[in-house]
């Protein structure tokens, strides 16, 4: 997903995880897909719901809302596929979202002091301040606060 | 381009494809390479040959069996994978591993075109449990790693339990035979 925004502006995809919206840099977003069949198998990561098969790739589905928006997120029936980085390697990751995603151009503002490390700034849309998410940092935050492993299916 | 890439598609597919056994544990499907399995026996048929291991540290292993001069630890696959407890009916005796796996049933033997790497997002014990993921139609099935059923530490623990049991049995036998 790419566009050429005016100078000083960047493209973001707005996604709704709960009542709150978040912004992801558009260059990290691959596509928004309607639900396919989520496949699950035993594993130990509470953030991972399973995998999807998309364009011949096995794409892990991560419920990042647990970290950034807290529990109780419902009705997230679509998957936003974005890129995660593992050193030099990249891998797709699907995030359950509510569906009403938008592509915008905006000048990113600095992050608030005290904001979690995975919030890298914000975009202002009228009265609404939408936090910009750094997906890789969300997972890093999760690893830092992880509790002992428990098997999930 | 690697040498394999210069071969016709059908040959490339044949080179990468492999036969797997699809088995279930608590309704969850898993696959294991046919080459990794030495034999498949009914759990009942091994009942007489299995010796109970007296230990509580590793709940997934309750028995050992001796086959062809080797000791195998019998791993309850449901407990290993954290699945609901079922009553397994089959034992997979594994090659190149010290474990046998108790599973519910065999679903099929099938050729898979390619076993894909487990996505890097999976970072826990599952990296040891699975060699990768197989795509079968619309399904994604984890391909288990035979060596993933028991860690080196777990084998060491079980070996010491076995040695203690053997020593206790020998001491008892000595006590019985002493005048």
Q: What is the pLDDT along chain A (153 residues), one digit of tens a residue?
A: 555 666 789 999 999 988 889 999 999 999 999 877 899 999 999 899 999 999 889 999 999 988 888 776 667 789 999 999 999 999 999 999 987 899 999 999 998 888 999 999 999 998 899 999 999 999 887 765 655 567 777
pTM across the whole model? 0.85
Tokens of A73: 């997120």
Query: What would the pLDDT profile of B82-124 be if each residue is shown by its tens digit?
Result: 999 899 999 999 998 999 999 999 999 999 998 999 999 999 9
Residue of chain B nearest A90, judged by CA positions: B120
Contact B91, B46 (CB under 8 A): yes
pLDDT of residue B5: 52
Contact A134, A44 (CB under 8 A): no
Radius of gyration from C-alpha coordinates of chain B: 19
pLDDT of residue B4: 47
Contact B53, B165 (CB under 8 A): yes
CA distances from B55 to A19, A87, A95, B43, B91 (A): 51, 42, 43, 21, 21
Q: B30 in helix, strand or coil?
A: strand
pLDDT of residue A77: 80
pLDDT of residue B17: 87
Q: Do B140 and A143 touch (CB under 8 A)?
A: no
Q: What is the ipTM of this complex?
A: 0.85
Q: Do B119 and A150 touch (CB under 8 A)?
A: no
Q: Is B176 on the interface with A (CB under 8 A)?
A: no
Average pLDDT of chain A, as a whole number:
87
Q: Do B140 and A91 touch (CB under 8 A)?
A: no
pLDDT lower than 70: segments of chain B: 1-15, 176-179
B36-40: which pairs have CB atoms within 8 A and are 24 or more residues apart?
A: B36/B94, B36/B95, B36/B96, B36/B97, B36/B146, B37/B92, B37/B93, B37/B94, B37/B95, B38/B93, B38/B94, B38/B95, B39/B93, B40/B90, B40/B91, B40/B92, B40/B93, B40/B106
Residue linked to tokens 């970072």: B123
Query: What would the pLDDT profile of A39-76 be if each residue is shown by its tens digit?
Result: 999 999 989 999 999 988 999 999 998 888 877 666 77
**Which residues on chain B are in Cβ contact (under 8 Å) with A45?**
121-124, 126
């Amino acid at each position: 997903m790419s566009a050429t925004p005016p100078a000083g502006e960047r493209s973001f995809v707005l996604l709704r995880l709960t009542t709150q919206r978040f912004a992801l840099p558009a260059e990290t977003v691959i596509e928004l897909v309607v639900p396919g069949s989520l496949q699950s198998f035993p594993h130990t990561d509470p953030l991972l719901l399973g995998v999807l098969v998309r364009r011949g790739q096995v794409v892990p589905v991560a419920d990042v809302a647990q970290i950034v928006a807290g529990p109780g997120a419902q009705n997230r029936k679509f998957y936003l596929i974005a890129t995660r980085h593992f050193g030099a390697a990249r891998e797709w990751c699907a995030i359950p979202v509510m569906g009403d995603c938008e592509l915008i151009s905006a000048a990113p503002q600095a992050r608030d002091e005290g904001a979690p490390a995975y919030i890298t700034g914000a975009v202002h849309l009228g009265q609404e301040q939408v936090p910009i998410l750094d997906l890789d940092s969300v997972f890093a935050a999760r690893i830092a606060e992880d509790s002992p492993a428990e098997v999930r299916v | 381009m690697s040498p394999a890439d210069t071969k016709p598609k059908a040959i490339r597919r044949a080179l990468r494809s492999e036969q797997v056994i699809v088995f279930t544990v608590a309704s969850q499907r898993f696959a294991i390479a046919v080459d990794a399995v030495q034999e498949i026996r009914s759990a009942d048929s091994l009942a007489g040959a299995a010796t109970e291991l007296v230990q509580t540290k590793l709940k997934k292993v309750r028995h050992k069996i001796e086959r062809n001069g080797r000791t195998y630890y019998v791993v309850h696959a449901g407990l290993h994978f954290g699945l609901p407890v079922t009553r397994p009916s089959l034992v997979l005796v594994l090659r190149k591993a010290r474990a046998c796996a108790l599973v519910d049933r065999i679903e099929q033997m099938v050729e898979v075109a390619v076993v894909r790497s487990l996505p890097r997002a999976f970072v826990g014990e599952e990296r040891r449990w699975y060699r990768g993921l197989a795509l079968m139609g619309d399904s994604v099935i984890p391909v288990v790693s035979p060596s993933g059923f028991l860690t080196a530490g777990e084998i060491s623990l079980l070996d010491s339990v076995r040695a203690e049991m053997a020593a206790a049995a020998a001491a008892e036998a000595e006590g019985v035979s002493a005048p």
